Structures are given as C-alpha cells and as structure tokens.
C-alpha cells in the first residue's frame, strides 16, 4: 500500500466520496411538503393569460386554477397561496371591491376548497389588488397610507376570506396592529380555527416588480413606480425585523414570514433564532424572473440554480417556502 504524503486523521472528503455517502450526511433536505405554490386568478372564462415578466406563470381562470390545484396535490404540494387580478374598472381609491360578493377571489377559494378539500388555502389580506393607486392601504387627505382605517378594511377582508373557506389568512400590508385586529375579528365572527400567517418582515424591495405586473397593481402609466417605504421595511435593517416578528407573535400570529427570501437569508436566520413560531420565506417574483432570464441567456444552469436557491432558503431556517417553482420542483423530487 502506498503511503500518502500527508499524515491526516480527519479527511473531510471521505463524507463526500459517493452519492450514497453524501445522502447519509446531508444536513438540509427539501421536500414537496416544504413548498407553497402562489397562484393568480382572474375573472372570466377561456384560456389563462401568461404573465410576460414571469415565464411559466399565468393568471388563471377559476377552472384552470382548480385543475392546477389538483396537480399540486398529485406532486405532493400541501398548500397554495392565492392572489386575485382585478379588472381596472372595479378598482377605486377605497378598494371597495375587496369585500364585494362578486370578488373573484371568493369564488376561487370556494371552488378550490370543494375540489381539493385537503389542500390548504392561504389568502392574501391586502388592498393593493383593489385600489386604483396600487398601495396596500387607504390614503388620507395628504395622499399617505392611513394605518388605522386600512386595518378596519383588512379585518373585513379577512373575515370574508375565512367565510369563503380560506384555511389561513396572510396580511401582507405591513400596517401596525393588524394581526391583533384580524385575530380578534376572526374570533368574534366564529373563525377560531382560521390561522394567520403574518408577513412580519416584508421589505420595500426592488424584487416585487413582476408580481405587480401579474396582479396589475399600480402598473398604470400614471404610477410608474410605487413608493411603499412608508410602511414596508428598510432593506438595511435587521433588528427592526426581529421587533416586527416579536410584535406579530404577541398579537396572535400563528406563523411569520420574511419577504423576499434569497437576498434576505440573514434575516431568515435571525428570525429563526428569535421565535418558536413556524417561519415562512417568500421567494418573490423578481428572484424567479432573474433565474429564468439568466438561464435563457445560457449564463446559468436552470434546474441546478433553481434547486440551489431553494435549498439555501431552507438551510437559512425557513420551515416553508412560497415559490413559483413549487410545482415543478415537487415533481422533480418525486421523479
């Protein structure tokens, strides 16, 4: 036997030698059950509308939404998050269509719950799909988002979503005090079992652009760029995120979320270390779009980059990941 020139007791490469050994020592594993599929729904019939800035993502009709949810169950996905795309003619400064009985969101929730009763439905509690200005809340006389009147509107929307059959409501607005107000409103209406996934640390990020395209929120020529820094978090802050999580936990949140995910892995890790609640992370539209764009240019391996990006989010401490890759990744994990 030839003796090595190095006298080493510990050779780390032994645990990397073969696929079988690597699988035995792998510390982080991604499962279909860890993934939540965000889906968009619009009113009307016919074919789904592609979202130009998000390859493979569409604005569903209720019929195609239900078929997609059946597929999610087949590949092992256990939850979906639903976002409505509302016609411009139904938007106004008050976002009053949010609570209208004909809101396509409520019809979609009922249809999915009937077709896929075992699939958890997470409903977005925010006014930006319904306001003509695109903000997540109601504006005061100065044109700024008014916190308390917005919370009152969010309470009504959360109750309506629970009545339609949502398992979890997810306030994404970043108004102060909305988690407690929604919890109390749900309980008073008899929805003690409806969970709250709080967007606890939602940053004023540049990565949201394609999502706003998907829901047609504030995308008109009169509003070229929405400034939400008055209520969403400063990307430079970490301690503030921990404070937000603590407040939402005290106010009755059942789960907390960090958004975006990939550029904020340090926030996910910090939040994981400061709460016992389940932690969600949202791999947002811009993260999804940039992977597609780089892969189409031949600069990145699409599947390898996609999978690594999700593994990194899970490794940082996320218990669950909202991602537009969910269905395809779950299918690949089952293959």
Give the CA count within 13 Å in the CB-facing half-sphere of 278.
11
Look at residue 243 and give its three-state secondary structure.
helix
Kind of pairing between the strands at 35-42 and 79-85: parallel
For 2, which DSSP code?
A: P
Catalytic residues: 202, 259
For 177-187, b where at least 16 C-beta lie within 10 A, e where not — what string? Answer: ebbbbbbebbe
**H or E stretch at 140:** none
Residues 281 and 259 sit within 8 Å (Cβ to Cβ): yes
Two structure tokens written together for 176: 């102060």
> Which of 287, 288, 270 shows the shortest CA–CA distance to 279?
270
Look at residue 258 and give its three-state secondary structure.
strand
Peptide bond before 152: cis, by omega within 30 degrees of 0? no
Residues 241 and 271 sit within 8 Å (Cβ to Cβ): yes
Phi and psi (nearest 5°) for 197? Answer: -100, 105
How far apart CA 8 and CA 229 sit, in angstroms, is: 54
Residues 74 and 115 sit within 8 Å (Cβ to Cβ): no
Beta bridge partners of 85: 42
H, E, C per residue of 157-182: HHHHHHHHCCCEEEECCCCCCHHHHH
How far apart CA 283 and CA 286 sit, in angstroms, is: 8
Our CA dihedral for 42, 47, 52, 54, rounded to 10 degrees, sits at 70
């Amino acid at each position: 036997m030839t003796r090595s020139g190095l006298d080493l007791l510990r050779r780390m490469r032994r645990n990397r030698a073969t696929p079988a050994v690597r699988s035995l020592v792998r510390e982080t594993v991604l499962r279909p059950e860890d993934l939540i599929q965000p889906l968009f729904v619009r009113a009307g019939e016919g074919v789904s509308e592609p979202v130009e800035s998000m390859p493979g993502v569409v604005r569903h009709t209720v019929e195609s939404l239900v078929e997609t949810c059946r597929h999610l169950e087949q590949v092992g996905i256990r939850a979906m998050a639903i976002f409505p795309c509302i016609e411009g003619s139904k938007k106004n400064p008050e976002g009053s269509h949010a609570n209208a009985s004909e809101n396509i969101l409520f019809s979609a929730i009922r249809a999915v719950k009937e077709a896929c009763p075992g699939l958890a439905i997470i409903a977005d509690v925010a006014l930006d799909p319904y306001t003509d200005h695109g903000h997540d809340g109601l504006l005061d006389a100065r044109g700024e988002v008014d916190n308390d009147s917005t919370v009152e509107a969010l309470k009504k929307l959360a109750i309506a979503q629970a009545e339609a059959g949502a398992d979890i409501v997810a306030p994404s607005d970043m108004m102060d005090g909305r988690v407690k107000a929604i919890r109390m409103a749900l309980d008073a209406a008899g929805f003690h079992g409806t969970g709250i996934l709080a967007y606890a640390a939602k940053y004023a990020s540049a990565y949201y652009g394609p999502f706003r395209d998907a829901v047609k929120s504030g995308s008109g020529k009169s509003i070229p760029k929405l400034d939400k820094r008055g209520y969403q978090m400063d990307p430079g802050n970490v301690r503030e995120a921990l404070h937000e999580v603590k407040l939402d936990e005290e106010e009755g949140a059942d789960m907390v979320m960090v958004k975006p995910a990939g550029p904020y892995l340090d926030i996910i890790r910090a939040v994981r270390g400061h709460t016992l609640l389940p932690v969600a992370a949202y791999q947002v539209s811009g993260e999804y779009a940039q992977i597609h764009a780089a892969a189409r240019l031949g600069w990145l391996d699409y599947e390898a980059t996609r999978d690594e990006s999700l593994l990194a989010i899970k490794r940082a401490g996320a218990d669950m990941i909202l991602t537009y890759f969910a269905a395809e990744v779950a299918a690949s994990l089952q293959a």
